[in-house]
Amino acid sequence: MLTFISQIINGLNQSAVLLIATLGLLIIFGLMNVINMAHGEMIMVGAFVTYIATSILNIPFLIALVLSFVVTALFGALTEVTIIKKLYSKPTETILATYALSIILKEIARIIWPLSQNVNMPFPGTISLGGVIVPRYNIFVVIMAILLLTFTIIFFRFTKFGKKIGAITQNRQMTECLGIKTSTIDTLTFAYGAGLAGIAGCILAPTTGVSYDMGSTYLTDSFMTVVVGGVQSLIGAAFSSTIIGEGRTVLAGVSNDTWAKIMIFLAVIILIRFKPEGLFAKERR
């Protein structure tokens, strides 16, 4: 029983990691209809920023967290202005362009850091909750996931900026007619999405190490989470990452990691077959 409880608690950590890795993609994919194949590499950029900040410049981890957001967001803005802006309404070209970008970023990182690098654990140690041992860092990750989710929801639902994005998503031309500068909003939204990917990289860095190859693992998982949750739903992403994260950990507990992965993928395929719009689809006009 104790093991089962500890598996559930570990599952929370995996869900939180998944959610953090997904949020950035959800905004870029869900709100802007841009399939960002370089999402994984933006996570990598955030992770390398963290590595440079904490291991080389000895900056505290929490400041590195902010830095990784800022740097990746700036990088995202640059990408949007130079590449993505020309390609809205051309999904195939966007995929190719972002895929190319992902390769370029990965190989640059490989040339500079051929080996994977270490980021020190910022909150080492464990706490014991009635016999269940929980790493301190996991608690931090779960709290971060909740904070980021809440902030993003408030940002998009209750601020003027968020409402403008909503309007653009629904009807771009009409919004432009109303005198809203869609182009600036696009850039800022893309930058915010990229910045969230940067935060994901920062949070992953202490547990997985930082390497040029780290992005690809998370690209598939994030797309899966987005699709299961419903493409435009932040709450949906929270639910789907919890289901996938918990599902994987609990199933791994009773069988093993490989089977857990297979079963989760199978469940996702079945779900998409019967509910292609995801669990929390928004009504669209």
Partner 1 sequence: MKMKRIIALAASMVLMASLAGCGSTSSASAAKSSGSSDSSSDGDPIKVGVLFSATGSTAINEKTMTNACIMAFDEINAAGGINGRKIEYIHEDYASDPAKCTEKIKKLIEQDEVVATVGCCTSASRQATLTTLKDDDSLLIYPTYTEGEEIHPNVIYVGAMPNQQAVDFIPYLLQNIGKKVFLVGSDYVFPKTCNKEAKALIEQNGGEVVGEEYAPLGQTDFSTICNKIKQSGADLVYSTVVGESNVSFYKDYKQYGLNPETCPICTISIEESVLQAIGTEYSEGNYASMPYFSSLDAPASKEFVDKYNKKFNDGTVVTVLTESAYSSCYLLAEALKKVDDPTDTDALIKAFNGLEFDAPQGKIKVDDYNHCTWVYSRFAKIHDGKFDIIYSSDKAIRPEPWPAVLYPQYKDTNFMPDWDDPICYPQ
Residue with Cβ nearer partner 1 (59 or 95): 95
Q: Given candidates 10, 68, 79, 169, which one binds partner 1 under the rule CB under 8 A?
A: 10
Contacts of 129 (CB under 8 A, 6+ apart): 9
d(CA 69, CA 193): 10
Neighbour tally for 206: CB within 10 Å = 23
Q: Given candidates 64, 144, 210, 228, which one binds partner 1 under the rule CB under 8 A?
A: 210
Residue with Cβ nearer partner 1 (195 or 206): 206
Site for partner 1 contains 275 (CB under 8 A): no
CB of 159 to partner 1, least distance (A): 25
* The one segment of 62-70, 95-103, 140-148, 149-157 that binds partner 1 by CB under 8 A: 95-103
Q: Are 66 and 148 in contact (CB under 8 A)?
A: no
Site for partner 1 contains 276 (CB under 8 A): yes
Site for partner 1 contains 253 (CB under 8 A): yes
Q: Are 186 and 32 in contact (CB under 8 A)?
A: yes
Query: Which stretches does DSSP call E strand in the chain?
Result: 126-129, 132-135
Query: Which stretches does DSSP call E strand in 112-216?
Result: 126-129, 132-135
Size, binding site for partner 1 by CB under 8 A: 63
d(CA 244, CA 250): 10
Q: Nearest CA to 235 among 178, 281, 168, 187?
A: 281
Q: Given candidates 107, 147, 158, 170, which one binds partner 1 under the rule CB under 8 A?
A: 107
d(CA 218, CA 26): 13
Q: Which residues are near partner 1 by CB under 8 A?
A: 3, 6-7, 10, 13-14, 17, 29, 33, 35, 37, 91-92, 95, 99, 103, 106-107, 110, 112-118, 120-121, 124, 126, 133, 135, 137-138, 204, 206-211, 213-214, 216-217, 219-220, 223-224, 227, 231, 249, 252-253, 256-258, 260-261, 272, 276-277, 284
